[in-house]
Chains A and B, each alone.
Chain A
C-alpha cells in the first residue's frame, strides 16, 4: 500500500497537523516481516481502530510507537515534529501511554506499585511514598472500577478484568495525550466492556488521540472514527467508519483487499 492512498483515505481537512504520523514503518523479526511499510496517522480527539488477523502485525506496529520495539525503517512524527522514540521512557516523554495486550503488570506487586511503576511518587527524602500512591490509586479506581477492593494484594490475586482495570488506570492516570489500547476489553465482561467504551468516548471528548486494537468489528464501528486494516504486516487500507459497512471491513480483513479502492 502506498502513502498516497493512505493520504487519500484520510478525510481530514488539510492544514490540521496530525497528533501522530507513522510513516512507512517496517520491522522484521528474523525472517518475518512483521510490519511492512505501514503509514497511519491519528488526530486529537480521534479514535483510530486497528484490525486484522492474529499475527497481522497490529501489536508490533503500536509497540514501535510505544517504544517497546525499534523500527528498522520509517518515521514517527508527533505534532508534526520528527520524534525519536527508542525506549518506553521516550514514549512517555511524548505523553504516549499504552495498555498492552499482555497487560505488562508485575504480578508480585500490588495495584498501586504497578500503577506508578517507573514513575513512583516520592517523599521529600526520596523514598517511595506508598501511602500517597495508594491514596491516588484508590481515587482513580473508585472511578474506573468501583468494585475494585484488592488494593493491598499482589495483582496475581486479581481476576483478568481487575488486572485490566489496573492497566487502564495506569494509562489514563498520567497526563496522556496519545493512548494506545491493545485489546483492552479482551478479558472483560459485558458490563466492564461497556465501561471501557464509555471511558474511551470521554477521553476522546477530552481531546486525546486513541489507537484502539480489537477483533470485535461491531465494537470498532461504534467507537472508532477511522479503521485501518492490516494483513501480513501490510496496511490493507484506512477508511472512515461512516464510509464502510461491517461487511466491507470483514472482507478487507479476510481478503486483504480494499473494496472501496480496488474494484473487485
Chain B
C-alpha cells in the first residue's frame, strides 16, 4: 500500500556493467542454509548422541523424546517472545513471576471465581476457556504496562522487570493465599502434554498437512523471487531442502507416534468407559496439544518477525534506535507492543506449565526468566540488539532441556547440572561472538 511515486531518478550512470561472474559456490552455500542454524542443529545432535551413549540408548527412546518435547514447550514459547525483547535491546526478568501470576489467575478463575460468581459448576465446558482468556488478558496487560514504564517513562527494562520479578511472584501468592490450587479442569489439563495428544492418525494427518505447507512455502518463495527476476537456488538444492523439511516433519511425527500408551493406562481408559479392552490393543500418544501450541506460536512469531511491518520495526529499532525514530517509527509504542506480546506468550506458557503439573503451585515458573533468556541467547539472539531468530530460540530451549534431562538421566547431581548449564550459556555466547567476528558485521 505504499504510495511510492518514484521521482524520475536522473541517470548518473553511463553504462550498466554486466554483473561479475559469481564464484563457484560450495554445496552448503548453494542450499542457502544459515550456518548458524546448522551449528545449532549440530550441537543438538551431538548432545543427543553423547547422552544416548552415556545412557546405553535410553536417551533417544520415543518415550524420552516425547518427555523432552513436552518439557521444552513452556520455556520455548516464552523464548520466542524474549527474542523480540532482546532484539529491541531490552530484557525481561519478570517472565517466571508473571507466569505464576497468569497461572494463579487461571487457576482461581476455573476453581473459585467463576464458579462462585457466575455459578458455573466445576467441570462446566466454558470454565477452562474463560480462565485461559482471563489469563491471556492479565499477561498481556501486565506486559503492556511494563512496556509502558520502559518505553514512555524511560525506566530501564532491567529495573522495571527486576521489580516485576518480585511483584508478580507475590501478587500470585496473594491471589491464591499461598495455596496450591487444583486439580485443574480436565480440558485445561489437556494442554499440559501427556494428558492431551492427537493420537496416531491425527498426528499423521497433521504431519502431512505441515509437510505440504512447508513445501508450498518453499515453492512460493522461489516463485516470488523468480517473478522479479532474482537469482534462485538450483532446482536440485531446492529439492534437497524440500526433502529435508518433509523428512524432518514426518520423522518427528513417526517418533512421537512410536511412543505407545502403556497397557495399564489403556486398560484404565477402557474401564473408565465401562468397556473391556480387547486383547492386543495398542495406541500411540502422538503429538501433544502443547506441542501444537508451540508450533502455532513459532509460525505466528516467525511471520511477525519476517513478514510484517511490526517485525521490521522491531529489528530496525534494535539495529539503530535513532534511525528507526528518524524513519517515523514510534519506538515507544513499539516497546509497549513487544512487552505485551511477551506477556501474552507468558500466559500461554502458564497454561501449558500449570496443565502439565495439573495444578497451580506457588513456585511455578521459578527461575524461568533465566532459562528463557538463556534459550534466546544460546539460540543466537544478540544482547546488543537487532539480531535473533525465532527458530534459534526454540532450538536453544531444546538444547538446554536436553542437557538438563540428559544429565539427570546420567545421574549428575543437581549442583553440577547447573554448573554445566551455566558454562554452556557462556560458551555459547563466546562461540557466537567469534562466529560473528569471522563472518563480519557486529
CB within 8 Å of B: which residues of A? 66, 68, 87-89, 92, 98, 100, 102-109, 113-114, 116-122, 126-128, 130-132, 134-136, 140, 142-147, 149, 154, 156-157, 172-176, 195, 198-199, 202-203, 206
CA–CA, A147 to B18, complex, Å?
A: 10
What are 17 A-B pairs with beta-carbon distances under 8 A?
Answer: A88-B325, A88-B328, A104-B322, A106-B324, A108-B315, A122-B2, A122-B309, A128-B309, A128-B311, A136-B6, A142-B13, A143-B13, A146-B16, A149-B19, A174-B4, A176-B7, A195-B13
- Answer yes or no: B387 CB below 8 A from chain A CBs: yes
CB pair B328 A87 closer than 8 Å: yes
Flag B320-364 by CB within 8 Å of A: 1 or 0 each.
101111111100000000000000000000000000000000000
DSSP majority for the B interface?
A: loop
Residues on the A chain within 8 Å of B282, using CB: none
Residue numbers in A under 8 Å from B26 (CB-CB):
none
Q: How far is the CA of A66 from the CA of B323 in the complex (A)?
A: 13
A146 in complex: contacting residue of B15, B307, B317, CB < 8 Å: B15
Contact between chains at B2 and A107 (CB < 8 Å): no
User: Which interface residue of B309, B315, B317, B327 has the most chain A CB atoms within 10 A?
Assistant: B327
A144 contacts which of B3, B9, B228 (Cβ < 8 Å)?
Answer: B9
- Asked if residues A157 and B6 are in contact (CB atoms below 8 Å), the reply is no
Most A CB contacts (10 A, CB to CB) among B5, B311, B324, B326 go to: B326
CB distance from A126 to the nearest CB of B (A): 7
Q: Are B319 and A108 in contact (CB under 8 A)?
A: yes
Given contacts A98-B326, A117-B323, A122-B1, contact A202 B307 (CB under 8 A): no
Contact for B2 among A108, A121, A144, A202, CB less than 8 A: A121
Q: How far is the CB of B84 from chain A (nearest CB, A)?
A: 14
Q: How far is the CB of B16 from chain A (nearest CB, A)?
A: 6
**Set of chain A residues within 8 Å of B10, measured between Cβ atoms:** 143, 198-199, 202-203, 206
Residue of B nearest to A142 (CB): B16
C-alpha gap A127/B302 in the complex (Å): 12
From A108, A122, A128, give the contact of B386 (CB < 8 A).
A108
Q: CA A192 – CA B311 in complex, angstroms?
A: 34
State which of A104, A116, A119, A127 has its C-beta within 8 Å of the C-beta of B323. A104
Q: A106-B316, A106-B323, A108-B441 are in contact. List 9 more A-B contacts (CB 8 A).
A: A104-B322, A120-B309, A122-B309, A126-B308, A134-B228, A136-B6, A145-B13, A149-B19, A203-B7
Binary CB contact string for chain B from 197 to 240 against chain A (1 if under 8 A, 0 otherwise):
00000000000000000000000000011011110000000000
Contacts of B316 in A (CB 8 A): 106, 108-109, 113-114, 117
CB of A89 within 8 A of CB of B328, answer yes
Q: Is B12 a contact partner of A143 (Cβ separation < 8 A)?
A: yes
A104 to B317, CA, bound (A): 11
Q: What string of 1s and 0s marks CB contacts (under 8 Å) between B286-325 and chain A?
A: 0000000000000000010001110111011111101111
With an 8 A cutoff between CB atoms, is B411 at the interface?
Answer: no
The residue that B5 contacts in the complex, of A98, A105, A130, A175, with Cβ under 8 A, is: A175
Tell me how many residues of B have a C-beta within 8 Å of chain A. 49
Q: Digit string of B399-442 for contact with A (CB within 8 Å is 1, else 0)?
A: 00000000000000000000000000000000000000000111
A122 to B320, CA, bound (A): 23
Interchain CA distance A135-B227 in the complex, whole Å = 10
Q: Is B11 an interface residue (CB 8 A)?
A: yes
CB–CB A113/B312 < 8 A:
yes
Is the CB–CB distance between A172 and B9 below 8 Å? yes
Task: Report the minimum CB–CB distance from A192 to chain B (whole Å).
Answer: 10
User: For the complex, what is the distance from the CA of A206 to the CA of B311, rounded to whole Å?
Assistant: 36
Assess whether A143 is in contact with B11, with CB atoms less than 8 Å apart.
Answer: yes
Contacts known (A88-B326, A118-B327, A174-B4); A128 close to B319, Cβ less than 8 A = no
- Residues of B at the A interface (CB closer than 8 Å) are 1-13, 15-17, 19, 224-225, 227-230, 303, 307-309, 311-313, 315-320, 322-329, 386-387, 440-442
Chain B residues, Cβ within 8 Å of A132: 228
Known: A116-B2, A120-B312, A149-B19. A107 touches B12 (CB 8 A): no
CB distance from A2 to the nearest CB of B (A): 32
Check B228 against A104 for contact (C-beta < 8 Å): no
Given A100-B326, A109-B315, A156-B442, CB of A131 within 8 Å of CB of B308:
no
Q: Are B320 and A106 in contact (CB under 8 A)?
A: yes
Q: How far is the CA of A1 from the CA of B24 in the complex (A)?
A: 64
Identify which of A89, A108, A126, A134 contacts B230 (C-beta below 8 A).
Answer: A134
**Closest beta carbon of chain A to B310's beta carbon, Å:** 10
Closest B residue to A127 by beta carbon equals B307
Tell me how far the C-beta of B21 lies from the nearest C-beta in chain A, rounded to whole angstroms.
12
Q: In the assembled complex, how far is the CB of residue A98 from the closest CB belonging to chain B, in whole angstroms?
A: 7
User: With a CB–CB cut-off of 8 A, which chain A residues contact B322?
Assistant: 102, 104
Q: How far is the CB of A184 from chain B (nearest CB, A)?
A: 13
Contacts of A122 in B (CB 8 A): 1-2, 309
- The interface residues of chain A lying within 8 Å CB-to-CB of B19 are 149
For B318, what are the chain A residues with a Cβ–Cβ distance below 8 Å? 108
Closest beta carbon of chain B to A114's beta carbon, Å: 8
Chain B residue, CB-CB nearest to A179? B7
Closest beta carbon of chain A to B386's beta carbon, Å: 4
A156-B316 Cα distance, complex, nearest whole Å: 13
Asked if A175 and B312 make an inter-chain contact with CB atoms under 8 angstroms apart, the answer reads no
Shortest CB-to-CB span from B249 to chain A, Å, is: 23
Interchain CA distance A114-B329 in the complex, whole Å: 12
Contacts of B5 in A (CB 8 A): 175
Give chain A residues whose Cβ lies under 8 Å from the Cβ of B227.
131
Q: CA A118 – CA B324 in complex, angstroms?
A: 8
Of all chain A residues, which has the CB nearest B307?
A: A127
> Closest 4 CB pairs between A and B?
A202-B10, A108-B319, A106-B319, A118-B327
- Which residues on the B side are within 8 Å of A109 (C-beta)? 312, 315-316, 319
* Nearest CB of A to B7, in Å: 6
Query: Whole-angstrom distance from the CB of B67 to the nearest CB of chain A?
Result: 37
Q: Determine whether the beta carbon of B329 is less than 8 Å from that of A117.
A: yes
